Amino acid sequence: MAISKDTYLPWFILKEIPGLGPHHTKSLIRFFNSPEQVLDASKSELKSAGLTSDRLIRNILNHDQYADRAWQELNICRQHGFKIIHINHPDYPELLREVSDPPPFFTMMGTIDAKAPCISIVGSRKATSYGLSSARKLAYDLAQKGFTIVSGLARGIDTAAHEGALEAGGQTIAVLGSGLNHIYPVENILLSRRIRESGAVISEFYANLPPKPAHFPIRNRIIAGISTGTVVVEAAKRSGSLITARLSGEYGREVFAVPGSIKSTTSEGTHLILKQGATLVENHMDIIDEIGQFIHLETQSNDTVSPPGMSKTQLQGIDDTYTRSILKILDPYPIHIDQIIKQSGLDAGGITAALLELELNGVVSRSQGNFYNISEENLG
């Protein structure tokens, strides 16, 4: 039976058919060229396309029973103005189309450059200040070089990566583990709006579907598949970020990791994949050296945009004995004030006053228990 001539309905019907996952859908589209032809195919033609499951073939032949549900979901997308990007669409990312199980279509808010080189930056939701600053700085520098930064809009490293790209005036893509009507976490709703102004928020899940634990490994394959490489910044041994890294390797993409403290549980996962052959990253040039051929020729000049916070030059220009001594001691990992006083060899009163001044100026950050570290804005 012929279906409606609506451009997108056949894609939604395919999504509704039980047993027809992304891998089979990609194979059928390659064989028949369009979802309309898949749905109009005979039993013998479906077998010629490589389908061996009689149940799946029956489901495809009886696709009319799934049309109402498909219409409902399609209309929700239209009511909210969501764009629908299917695998035959010119805006579908080229690298994502190459993987074995790409989403047949995804919905989107914003715009996407299908040919832009992408780097995914992922990591712990419970990131340290070191991890957050590393992710933000990497995203900032890579965005300035023309890369689109891809992440999952989660708390922690994902948020820092998106923010770093936006601060550089670059593009970023957020891949959701929920539908577009359920931005998660809710505190990133404003960030999602900023992202879609110069990039995109995308999801392969139906618009009203809330986030579920099972959704996130599914969305991670999009993060890996859309990117030329994946950078892991802080991850525990059992982490969704490691799933993304594994998928990136399986897709033939580069895998990178930022090393951390051997005392930090958030570095156990990154150190694990470093042992397994991931490329160690200290700065964005380590990534560019591996995949430099993907850089846009129209890169932004580092002279046109200055990173937020105080620069290294400004830090070096401080001539006060106490502040200069403190800045030589501090690094991204928090250090107790007693240790700072001991290493500096200076009096406690002067160090305490200098730390307060540096904290008020945003140069250092203080955490509970009188621990201090260089604030993330001043790493570079």
Across the chain, which has 380 residues, the per-10-residue mean pLDDT values are 68 96 95 96 95 95 96 96 96 94 97 92 93 94 94 96 96 97 96 96 97 93 96 90 94 94 88 95 91 55 40 48 85 82 87 85 80 67
Predicted local confidence at residue 35, as pLDDT: 96
Domain around 255: 110-294
Contact 156, 134 (CB under 8 A): no
CA distance linking residue 326 with residue 333, whole number of Å: 14
Domain contains 289: yes
Nearest to 89 by CA among 75, 103, 76, 70: 103
Which residues are within 8 A (CB) of 374 and not within 5 positions of it... i.e. 6 or more apart? 327, 330, 331, 332, 363, 364, 365
Domain contains 304: no
**83-86/254-258 β-pairing:** unpaired
Predicted local confidence at residue 373, as pLDDT: 82
**pTM for this structure?**
0.78
Domain contains 222: yes
Domain contains 367: yes
Interval 157-202: pLDDT, tens: 999 999 999 999 999 999 999 999 999 999 999 999 999 998 999 9
Predicted local confidence at residue 218, as pLDDT: 94
The rounded Cα 121 to chain-centroid distance in angstroms is 5
Which residues are within 8 A (CB) of 59 and not within 5 positions of it... i.e. 6 or more apart? 17, 18, 19, 20
Nearest to 19 by CA among 41, 42, 47, 52: 52
| H or E element that contains 118 | strand 118-123
Contact 2, 39 (CB under 8 A): no
Domain contains 91: no
Looking at 242, 267, 294, the residue that finishes a domain is 294
Residues 176, 249, single domain; the answer is yes
Number of domains in the chain: 3
**The one-letter amino acid at 198:** S
Q: What value does the CA radius of gyration of the chain take, rounded to a whole number of Å?
A: 24
CA distance linking residue 324 with residue 164, whole number of Å: 28
Domain contains 237: yes
Residues 280, 135, single domain; the answer is yes
Residues 267, 126, single domain; the answer is yes
Residues 24, 118, single domain; the answer is no
Residues 73, 128, single domain; the answer is no
Residues 238, 327, single domain; the answer is no
Q: What is the DSSP letter of 301?
A: P
CA distance linking residue 57 with residue 322, whole number of Å: 76
Residues 154, 237, single domain; the answer is yes
Domain contains 269: yes
CA distance linking residue 212 with residue 142, whole number of Å: 31
CATH number at residue 269: 3.40.50.450
Looking at 266, 294, 322, the residue that finishes a domain is 294
CATH number at residue 322: 1.10.10.10
